[in-house]
A = this chain, B = another copy of it.
Amino acid sequence: MDKKESQKPKYQILKEYIIETIGLEKLEPGDKIWSENELAQKFKVSRHTVRQAISQLASEGWLYKVHGKGTFVGDRIRRKSNKIKTIGVMTTYLNDYIFPSIILGIDEVLSKAGYNMVLGCSYNHHDKERMCLENFIRADIHGVIVEPTKSALPNPNLDLYRQIIEKDIPMFFIHGCYKELDCPYVVVDDIKAGYIAARHLIDLGHKRIGGIFKIDDIQGHYRFKGYQMALHEAKIDLKDLNVLWFDTDDKREEFIKFDKKMFRELTKRCSAIVCYNDQVALKVMNIIRKKGMKIPEDISLVSFDDSQLAVVSEVKLTTVAHPQKKLGRIVAESLINKINGGKGKDKIKMEPELIIRGSTKEYK
């Protein structure tokens, strides 16, 4: 047993002892520790050895020394890194839609707690996502908030996420989480949201209810699932033809590349459509209007998120609200709590809320 200890250099043992004792004796930052000579006597080593141990601890931030006064316990905040704590935040988009509000909520909490926020944006592409993550890791951040990129698809950047987890850097996902990772998250209950949306239409008497969902996003799948559940509960057959799927690139370029014929069919067959989000609803609204049909008289629309867009057009959108700023605040608070070693809820689901406006109407 002596061997194991004696394999370690004496200064190493001393270092460990000092760190341990700081913890045990509950020394606060600024408290004085023993002088070099005291330690040397106590451990029966030379002062040189003590100095080696102490100077290394000092350069690591555990201690600081003042000439002529003594050696003191370092500022605990500075122990891990001299620098201010920084949180990496990555979302799929930055300036659009609900994202500014989410980021605002995060910033409110982080800046109040004295954290810096490093912002990255994946533009919902895996290569950009990878770049951001690499930046985060290199920047030596203290926590991460991520909105996953194409969360319903296999992710090529899981190695980086695992690296973050292995480094014990607290990480929260928002909106969804890669199913391969078991990570804390704050999400809106999208299944419920989908259910609420469809249920609202059913309650209004609609029976032929179509849906447009995003296929590369886990939120799209969940909202679809809720929609499906509501229809099933109401014993309405879900016809595959009534559901259209699109993906990120469709949306960004000119949206709804999917067969125009299919869309025409959809509007003919259905009296109501559940739209993946407000953006989609607006585009659908424009197309329908161009066909000479009216909303909500001819077709009812329900969308998701309650973004600024929802109230922009003449017909305000009935939409299932996303908590936006509140979600930002909650995820930031949870993350800080985790960083400070607190035991909070790991998986948080926020309740969606239906906001009824002008885009839905009773089916006569």
Chain A residues near B (Cβ < 8 Å): 59, 83-84, 86, 94-96, 99-101, 103-104, 107, 111, 114, 116-121, 128, 131-132, 135-136, 138-140, 308, 312, 314
Contact = CB atoms under 8 A, between A and B. Distances in A.
A131 B117 contact: no
Given A59-B59, A135-B116, A139-B116, A104 B95 contact: yes
Contacts of A104: 94-95, 121
11 contacts: A94-B100, A107-B119, A107-B120, A111-B128, A111-B131, A116-B120, A116-B135, A117-B119, A118-B118, A308-B308, A312-B312
Number of identical monomers bound together in the oligomeric complex: 2
A289 to B, nearest CB: 15
A114 to B, nearest CB: 7
A335 B94 CA distance: 21
A59 B59 CA distance: 9
A119 B91 CA distance: 14
B120 A118 contact: no
Of all A-B residue pairs in the complex, the 8 with the closest CB atoms, nearest first, are: A95-B100, A95-B104, A84-B138, A119-B119, A100-B100, A94-B104, A116-B135, A84-B139
A119 B115 CA distance: 11
A43 to B, nearest CB: 21
Contact of A96 (B84, B100, B107): B100
B119 A86 contact: no
A254 B344 CA distance: 38
A128 B117 CA distance: 14
A103 B114 CA distance: 21
Contacts of A117: 118-120
A128 B59 CA distance: 32
Given A100-B100, A101-B95, A120-B116, A111 B84 contact: no
Given A119-B117, A131-B111, A138 B83 contact: yes
A309 B9 CA distance: 66
A119 to B, nearest CB: 4
B312 A139 contact: no
Given A83-B140, A84-B139, A139-B83, A103 B111 contact: no
A103 B95 contact: yes
Nearest to A100: B95
Choose among A86, A96, A116, A314 the residue with the greatest number of B CB atoms under 10 Å from its CB: A116
A132 B120 contact: no
B135 A114 contact: yes
B111 A132 contact: yes
A231 to B, nearest CB: 35
B107 A121 contact: yes
Nearest to A89: B119
B94 A103 contact: yes
Nearest to A314: B314
A48 to B, nearest CB: 9
A64 to B, nearest CB: 16
A120 B111 contact: yes
